[in-house]
Amino acid sequence: MSGDVATTPPVAPQGETDSETDVPRTLVTRHGGQDRLFIHGSRAIAFLVLLIVGSIGVFLGAQSVPTLQTYGFGFFTEFRWLPSQDRIGIAAVVVGTIQVALIAIFFAIPLSLLTALFITDWAPAWLRPTLVRFVDMMAAVPGIVFGLWVLFVIQPHATEVAHWLSKYLGWFPLFHVRTDVDYPIWNQAPGYPSYAGSAFVASLAVTMMIFPMATSVMREVFSEAPVGEKEAALALGATRWAMVRTVVLPFGRSGIIGGGMLALGRALGETISVVLVISQAFEIKPYVLESGTSTISALIASSFKEASPSQLSALLTAGFVLFLMTLLVNSLAAIIVSRSRSGGVTEL
């Protein structure tokens, strides 16, 4: 018949089966000049970052050797910092660092989560770029500004809140204060702690420092939620909150966890805002509303200038501990984000 082309299937060579000839080709990628420049440049930058971080760790570890040889494990269990009496340790500042960071995370994560959801799913389209810029601009505000703001504006009101919590919820150990709660906050009993300069007040300054970072991470993840599934949920009659709860939040679970842990790593090392707010005291106590606490970064910032060589080695040892804590938290955050499969548990 005219117009037909006869085709014959390929015949496998003698002694070979179809399964032996059906082998996928090996794909060879040939990068252009710009691609090779980008790949090698990215590798060089990554290697440089690892080199810098490793060098910092090696330097701090080497400077910590004299202190560890002198005080041994007792350096980590002693809570007093009295160089004149040769009694120094970081137990109190480690506990204070963790307290301030966890309280800040307690305030920052819900605030960041709600802000990110509002920007991605509730704010009008014309308002979203402005809100994103405002949140990003907050990350550029120096810590000293937040510290002064909390010290002069927020602390007077925060002490009233702390007084109310200790008076009516003091039966809970976290809100207990070792003072007469019937005394007004401006006339505390002599010799008893007050409410200003506490871990609670310091955590408010840290909250404002870590809020932009956590919000940016969560917002980026929420904005990548599958539009088709969101529209399908709304088409099936779901409310906007139901759509967010069943689609956006499961999809962005890794972003919530990763953003929270990255913010925790930032909170552990916050310095200037904490130094301005706290009343430095070296004591292990669970009373976060009570005046007096300290953190590793605040200890280093306040004692570094006048430190003797032996005290300087102790401060660098404290810095090495803070370096390891921050590195551990950030590494866990990176692992969680990389292993989490966003949207894997989304259900309509």
Domain boundaries defined on the chain: 34-339
Q: How far is CA 238 from CA 21, 68, 124, 299, in A?
A: 53, 61, 19, 52
Rounded to an integer, what distance in angstroms lies between the CA atom of residue 265 and that of residue 269? 7
Gap between the Cα atoms of 109 and 261, Å rounded:
10
Site of tokens 């551990």: 328
Q: Which residues contact 341 (CB under 8 A, 6 or more apart)?
A: 254
pLDDT at 10: 53
pLDDT in the model for residue 48 = 95
Distance CA 236, CA 283 (A): 58
pLDDT of residue 58: 94
Q: Tell me, what's the pLDDT at 6?
A: 47
d(CA 265, CA 119): 24
Long-range contact pairs involving 120-125 (C-beta distance under 8 Å, separation at least 24)? 120/219, 120/222, 120/223, 120/225, 120/248, 121/222, 121/240, 121/243, 121/244, 121/248, 122/240
- Chain centre distance of CA 112: 12
Alpha-carbon dihedral 293, 299, 301, 302, rounded to 10 degrees: 80
pLDDT digits (tens, 9 = 90+) for 40-85: 899 999 999 999 999 999 999 999 999 988 888 889 988 888 888 8
Q: Tokens 């956590």: give the residue.
A: 214
Q: What is the pLDDT of residue 344?
A: 45
- The ranges of the chain with pLDDT < 70 are 1-21, 180, 182-193, 337, 339-348
pLDDT of residue 117: 94
Position 343 scores a pLDDT of: 43
* Residue 325 CB neighbours (<10 A): 19
Listed in sequence order, the residues at least 6 apart from 172 whose beta carbon sits closer than 8 Å to its beta carbon are none
Does domain 34-339 fall into CATH 1.10.760.10? no
pLDDT at residue 273, rounded to an integer: 84
